[in-house]
Structure 1
Amino acid sequence: MMETCVKDLSVPVSVIVAESGRRGRRRQVARRLRIAGTVLTVAAIAFAGANAGLPLISAGPRTGANVGPADRTRPLSASPATPTAPTTPTAPTAPSRSPDPDLSSSPDPSAAGDRWQQFPLPAAPQLGSAAASRTGSATGSPVDFTTYSVLKDLEKLMPTYRNRFTQGAVFRTDRPGEGSTVHLDYTDEAGPVALELSLHHSKVPFPAGGASPDPDLAPFRCGTNSGTSDNDEQGCLSGYRPDGSWEMVAVNDAQVPGLFGYRVVIWRPDGTILDFTEYSGTVSSKGDPIRSGRYRPPLDLTFWRSVTESPIWTPYLHA
């Protein structure tokens, strides 16, 4: 069921590229106007690379059958010639599908006063619930964002693959120094990859009245490929979700040079930021990248969005 829902949600890469390019051009125009002293601002949509796209494919982890050397030469937007049926993790509850956003009618920031810039990707299938989290008591008291608690909730979201999660090596990226960051490894037939899950509170006030955050002042931003991962695909989109939170999705190797990854960031109106990244390799105890030979991370982007967007993280506070 999860597989069917996610396949139905796939968006043509050409549509994403066209939408991102259109928003990027408006952003450049608005920057010139802002420098000239006008009051015009634009939405924080950045798309690096004119021909890159965000991969939206089947649900769940990839198996060893499609992560070998041949996969490294496959464009991110291309489909395998003879695709194998993906294995879909068993969710605690059947995922529900929200209506697909109409990209052609997304708000025009320059015409609408930079208000309510809709996130330009369909909603990912929902995994888990706040009630399923390790809330600590029947009253739903908050729980600290620790390795143990996060690991247990990931196992709830993906019970079929619960034995694939282990504690990983600690390494530093550009995450804020304050807050909590959990490092895990996810290991399948192709070897381990690093997962970096961070929760912290923004020092920048959440935008009021549906205004889009200033990209120069936002507590996180799109990264730029390091060029050392043998993967030139990159992309970055952001916008408001239906629940009023702000989401950014980035595809690049900006966090750990040499390790290509999918990054999903959720900025809630209360200031809480969930910043989850999965990589295509792992790191040594010294923080050096260890490549696995994968072209992409094992959990596809749509499924990784489902993990990050899950209500299961609602009761968490940073340690």
Structure 2
Amino acid sequence: MDPDLDLELSAMMETSVKDLCVPVAVIVAESGRRGRRRKLVRQLRIAGTTLAVAAVAIAGANAGLPLIEAGPRTGTEVGPAAPAAPLSPTPTPTPSVDPTPRSSPTATGTAGRHQSTKFPLEPVPVLGTTWPNTTSSGASPRQFTEGSVSSDLRWLLAKQNGQVSQAYPVNVDRGDGASAVYLAYADGDNPVTVELRLGRTELPLPADGSNPAQLPFRCGKDSGTAGNHSTACLGGYLPNGSWELVETNDARVTGLYSYRVAVWYPNGTVVDFTEYAGFVHDNGEPPSYVREKPPIDFLLWRSVTESPVWTYYVPVEGGGTGTG
């Protein structure tokens, strides 16, 4: 490179910057501003990442937690929603029974204040709503006699392949003031006995449905391999305010198996129906024609017992058995 040219270029550069004033304060301020902005960006990025990780962790933890109701309870609740516990010391499942809790009772009045236990089984179809003996003005009370009861039982079981007839001369009286009717039910196999009882009680409805120990609602007493042996016993309030008890009994000594359904109405009327798996004799002899189980399905037997037909009946005057 030409030495003279090099000297000329150096002189020109010195002259161009001779009067130049460098804004040091501006450069420092701008550098600080950019540094703070970059620091803020970094902090926001770190914070965003932390929140994202926390959100994922919380979502993963909540995925395994049950949902909890936070809504307030209404003032119309009358008791806990838990189903009644079996009343038998050694409860066992019952054929055709679906132990699903049903809806809350809606009855009011004196009984409604004590409705702390709902009936623990699903409702069954209502039979007898078109009872031919009812009128628009209501039916007159009927005596709970063998003739009337057997006629209405045949009507309720009209769709079943069975015949209802008198079991034996009616001379059985348990002395509790209720009217009792004993019928024979035959469906092509050996006949069995059905026992239908209707009475009235002055006792108030159970104050606590979990333990209907007072008469006339008492579960069969477990006595091991002798006498009455209840395999399951459940009780609770129906939506109409009535109290219902259902019981299965295997009666091990005699070989009988039975379905018992009893309904206690708020007005004091009590119906207590039992169907056996054999023919029960009125003279105390062991039952005969024993089957494996009662012929009428348990759910159907509940429908029969809960039928409004029986609310038109009254016990025969003087109690005992009805023969008319």
1:49 aligns with 2:83: no
Q: CA deviation at 1:102?
A: 4.9
Alpha-carbon spacing, 1:139–1:308, altered in 2? closer, same or farther (3 Å): closer
1:242 maps to 2:266: no
Q: Which residue of 1 aligns with 2:298?
A: 301
Give the aligned partner of residue 285 of structure 2. Answer: 288
Q: How far 1:214 sits from its partner (Å)? A: 5.5
> Post-superposition, which runs of at least 4 consecutive aligned residues in structure 1 deviate over 3 A?
21-24, 100-103, 133-139, 160-163, 170-173, 210-216, 224-233, 253-258
TM-superposed deviation, 1:220: 1.9
Say if 2:208 is the partner of 1:167.
no
Alignment-derived partner of residue 119 in structure 2: 119
Residue identity in the other structure for 2:95: P
Q: Distance in 2 between matches of 1:171 and 1:255?
A: 26
In the other structure, the counterpart of 1:33 is none
Shift of 1:179: 2.0
Native 8 Å contact 1:256 1:289 kept in 2: no
Partner of 1:276: 273
Alignment of 1:13-162 (within 5 A): 24=85, 45-50=86-91, 52-56=92-96, 101-102=101-102, 115-129=115-129, 132=131, 134=133, 139-161=138-160
CA distance in 2, matches of 1:134, 1:264: 24
**Distance (Å, rounded) in 2 between the aligned partners of 1:197 and 1:155:** 13
The equivalent of 1:71 in structure 2 is none
Structure 2 counterpart of 1:314? 311
Deviation, 1:261, is: 0.4
Closer, same or farther: CA 114–136 of 1 in aligned 2, 3 Å: closer
- The answer to whether the 8 A contact 1:222-1:236 is kept is yes
Equivalent-residue separation in structure 1 for 2:252 and 2:202 (angstroms) = 21
Counterpart-to-counterpart distance in 2, 1:219 and 1:231:
16
% identical equivalent positions: 41
Whether the 8 Å CA contact 2:230–2:247 is kept in 1: the answer is no
Q: Establish whether residue 252 from structure 1 lines up as the match of residue 246 from structure 2.
A: no
Cα 1:163–1:297 shift into 2, 3 Å: closer
Distance 1:23 1:172, change over 3 A: same
Q: What residue is the counterpart of 1:265 in the other structure? A: 262
The answer on whether the counterparts of 2:102 and 2:119 sit within 8 Å (CA) in structure 1 is: no
Specify whether residues 114 and 140 from structure 1 end up closer, same or farther in structure 2 by C-alpha distance, changes over 3 A only: closer
1:232 to partner: Cα distance: 7.8
Aligned to 2:191: 192
How far apart are the structure 2 equivalents of 1:225 and 1:233? 6
Relative to structure 1, is the Cα distance of residues 149 and 216 closer, same or farther in structure 2, using a 3 angstrom cutoff?
same
CA contact (8 A) 1:226 1:257 kept: no
What is the CA deviation profile of residues 114-167 of structure 1, one whole-angstrom value per residue up to 9, with x for unaligned ones? 7420000000111112x5154599751111111111111111112244861110
The Cα shift of 1:205 comes to 2.0
Provide the rounded CA distance (Å) in 2 between the counterparts of 1:190 and 1:227. 30
Alignment-mate amino acid for residue 46 of structure 1 = L
Superposed displacement of residue 311, structure 1: 1.2
Letter in 1 for 2:118: Q
Provide the C-alpha distance between the structure 2 equivalents of 1:225 and 1:300, rounded to a whole number of angstroms. Answer: 24
Contact 1:179 1:198 in 2 (8 A): yes
Q: Give the 5 Å matches for 1:162-241.
A: 164-169=163-168, 170=170, 177-207=176-206, 211-212=208-209, 215-224=212-221, 234-241=231-238
SS in 2 for 1:297: coil
How many residue pairs are counted as aligned between the two chains?
Answer: 227
Q: Output the TM-score relative to the length of structure 1.
A: 0.61
Q: Gaps (5+ residues) in structure 2?
A: 1-81, 106-112, 317-324
Aligned position for 2:68: none
Q: How large is the RMSD of aligned CA atoms in angstroms? A: 3.7
How far off its partner does 1:204 sit?
1.4
For the pair shown, the structure with the greater C-alpha radius of gyration is: 2
CA contact (8 A) 2:144 2:179 kept: yes
Once the two structures are superposed, residues 180-209 of structure 1 have per-residue CA deviations (whole angstroms, 9 ceiling, x without a partner) of 1000000122211000000000131224xx
Q: Deviations over 1:62-117 (max 9, x none)?
A: xxxxxxxxxxxxxxx9xxxxxxxxxxxxxxxxxxxxxx7459x99xxxxxx97420
Report SS of the residue matched to 1:314. helix
Alpha-carbon distance in structure 1 between the residues aligned to 2:117 and 2:135: 36
